[in-house]
Amino acid sequence: MYRPRRHLTRKAPTTVGALAVLMLASACGSQTTSGGSGGGDSSPYTFGVVTSQTGGASQLGVGELRGAQLAADFVNGKGGVNGHKIQIESADDQSQPNQALQQTRNLIAKKVTALVGPSVVANCNAIAPFVKDNGPVDYCLSPGIDASGFVWSASAKTDALAEETMSYWKNKGITRVAIINTTDASGTDGGRAANEAAQKAGVTVTAQVTYEPAAVSATAQLQQAMASNPQALVVWSTGTPVGVALKGIQQLGIDLPVMTTDGNLAGAFLERIADYTPKTLLIPATRDFWWETLPKTDPAYDLEQQYHDAYQQKYNEAPDFGPGVGYDAVLVLAEALKHAKSTSAADIRTAMESIDGFPGVVGTYHMSPDDHRGLTVDDVAMVQAENGKFTYVGK
């Protein structure tokens, strides 16, 4: 009898400790950031926001959560949705797909009204099979997934970004481009989209070369691209690999217009590449980056003004790529809830699919059962990175 007792005695603290750690982890993993009373007709609608607050994708995730919270404050400031306040229940997926799924399960167990996030395509793909057929509605903040069922996808599609770029260049007389993209999922998809968009616009792709996202140098690939005598370069990747390519462009003395992707629409990124920014660095961007060119009578102008002012005031910096999609996700879900017959996932989905001409900060949404994104090439224009800012250069 002694042995089992000793076994129990030794195990008990370990088990209790493990439970305590699990409870602590759970407590740290999700956090309610806006209060609200439970029960009754005025009980809040809770949106579970799963973003990457730590890890590699936190550059996106931190801003996305800020944007979502700002939108909830905005809606609540106007009295909420049909008398219900919006409450944000945030969770950190640590930039890991398995954590994204774990946090999503936790939020669903807490019976959230809808989900917003995760931040990146791999994490969205991790949770999509879990919610796609039965809900709750999930508004994935990455543009990189094919959204259907109960899943929505934020921002403009990769194809729309590529189409806008090629159309812009064609109008500027550029008819020969070389594409250099990374071998990861988003780089490969971007390379494909750029190739197809070029064909559609009547632009010749003189070369398409690839490099590893973790490559130290891309000069060999750039040489290969330059051997085809292009008039412009497409560098399709996000973050560090783009920096590596831009360094190579400078080292090789290449003096061509360069296009890169909207994932690089961040002030921090511009700071990092300040000394290596090509003379012309173009990025296809959604409306939140060129809203000031809208006529003041445009239905979106006031919303954009309010969003940018509120973000600047609350966080003392201008919003970049992340906050806009988080902001719109909450606005669009709130709009759907306003028209849904109930808070059931099916009714929210039907209401979401009926949204048509709803202005957000990223663009104006035209959803349908076949379009769970609602933005098109009309919501995209070209901006140029110069002097640490993004300047509108046209459509």
Partner 1 sequence: MTGLAQTLVGGLAVGSVYALIALGMSLIYSMSRVINLAQGAFVVLAALTAVSLKNALGVNPVLLLIMTAIIFAVVLAVVDQVVIRPATKRATPERMLLITVGLLQAVGGFLLIVYGNLPYTLKAFSQPSSVTLLGVRVATQDFWIFGVLLLSVLALWFLLQRTGLGLTMRATAQDPRAAALMGVNVDRVRLMAFSMAGAMAAMAGAAIVPLTFLQYDTVVPYAVNGFIAAVIGGLGSATGALAGGLLLGVLEGVFSRYTPASTAEVLAIGVLIVVLLVRPAGLRGKVEEVRR
Residues 6+ apart with CB under 8 A from 290: 381, 383, 392
Decide: is 247 part of the binding site for partner 1 (CB under 8 A): yes
Exposed e or buried b per residue across 125-159, where buried means at least 16 C-beta atoms within 10 angstroms of its C-beta: bbbbebbeeebbbbbbbbbbbebebbbbbbbbbbb
Q: How far is CA 201 from CA 74, 124, 157, 231, in A?
A: 40, 31, 17, 15
Candidates 6-14, 38-46, 244-252, 378-386; binding stretch for partner 1 (CB under 8 A): 244-252
Q: Indicate whether 228 belongs to the interface with partner 1 (CB under 8 A).
A: no
> How many Å apart are CA 393 and CA 17, to the nearest integer?
59
- Segment contacting partner 1 by CB under 8 A, of 14-22, 133-141, 155-163, 269-277: 269-277
Residue 90 binds partner 1 (CB under 8 A): no
Residue 244 touches partner 1, criterion: CB under 8 A = yes
- Does the footprint of partner 1 cover residue 229 (CB under 8 A)? no
Quote the least distance from Cβ 271 to partner 1, whole Å. 9
Among 253, 296, 297, 313, binds partner 1 (CB under 8 A): 253
Please identify, using beta-carbon distances, which residue of 247 and 308 lies nearer to partner 1: 247
Handedness of CA 285, 291, 295, 299 (dihedral sign): positive
Min dist CB 274 to partner 1, Å, is 10
Q: For partner 1, which is the closer residue by CB, 218 or 331?
A: 218
Residues 6+ apart with CB under 8 A from 140: 117, 118, 124, 128, 147, 151, 152, 153, 154
CB of 216 to partner 1, least distance (A): 5
Residue 212 within binding range of partner 1, rule CB under 8 A: yes
Residue 185 in contact with partner 1, rule: CB under 8 A: no
Choose which of 220, 229, 279, 368 interacts with partner 1 (CB under 8 A): 220
Prior bond of 323 cis (ω within 30°): no
- The residue (of 191 and 284) whose beta carbon lies closer to partner 1 is 191
Residue 277 binds partner 1 (CB under 8 A): no
Helix and strand numbers (H, E) in the chain are: 12, 15
Q: Which is nearer to partner 1, 55 or 149 (CB)?
A: 55
Other CB atoms within a 10 A radius of the CB of residue 95 amount to 23
Of 48, 239, 322, 374, the one binding partner 1 (CB under 8 A) is 239
Q: Which of 33, 229, 251, 391 binds partner 1 (CB under 8 A)?
A: 251
**Torsion, Cα of 114, 120, 123, 129 (10° steps):** 60
CB of 159 to partner 1, least distance (A): 22
What single letter denotes the amino acid at residue 164? E
Q: Is 12 in the site for partner 1 (CB under 8 A)?
A: no
In the complex, the smallest distance separating the C-beta of residue 328 from partner 1, rounded to whole angstroms, is 24
Q: Based on CB atoms, which residue is closest to partner 1, 150 or 269? A: 269
Among the listed residues 14, 78, 216, 297, the single contact to partner 1 using CB under 8 A: 216
Please tell me the count of residues contacting partner 1 according to CB under 8 A.
35
Give the binding range for partner 1 (CB under 8 A) out of 267-275, 293-301, 334-342, 367-375: 267-275
Cα(151)–Cα(138) distance, integer angstroms: 5
DSSP track, 286-319 = EGGGTGGGS-TTSTTHHHHHHHHHHHHHHHSS--
Considering beta carbons, is residue 54 or 354 the nearer one to partner 1?
54
Cα-based distances in Å from 309 to 70, 183, 303, 383: 11, 38, 10, 21
At residue 27, what is the residue type? A
- Least distance between partner 1 and beta carbon 242 (Å): 9
For residue 378 the two structure tokens come to: 């009309």
Helix (H) or strand (E) holding 64: helix 58-77
Of residues 27 through 66, those in contact with partner 1 by CB under 8 A are 55-59
Nearest approach in angstroms of CB 108 to partner 1 is 28
Residue 73 has which token pair?
A: 């404050």
Instruction: Residue 204: count other Cβ atoms within 10 Å of its Cβ.
Output: 13
Residues in contact with partner 1 by the rule CB under 8 A: 55-59, 182-183, 209-212, 214-217, 219-221, 223-224, 227, 239-240, 243-244, 247, 250-253, 268-269, 272, 275-276
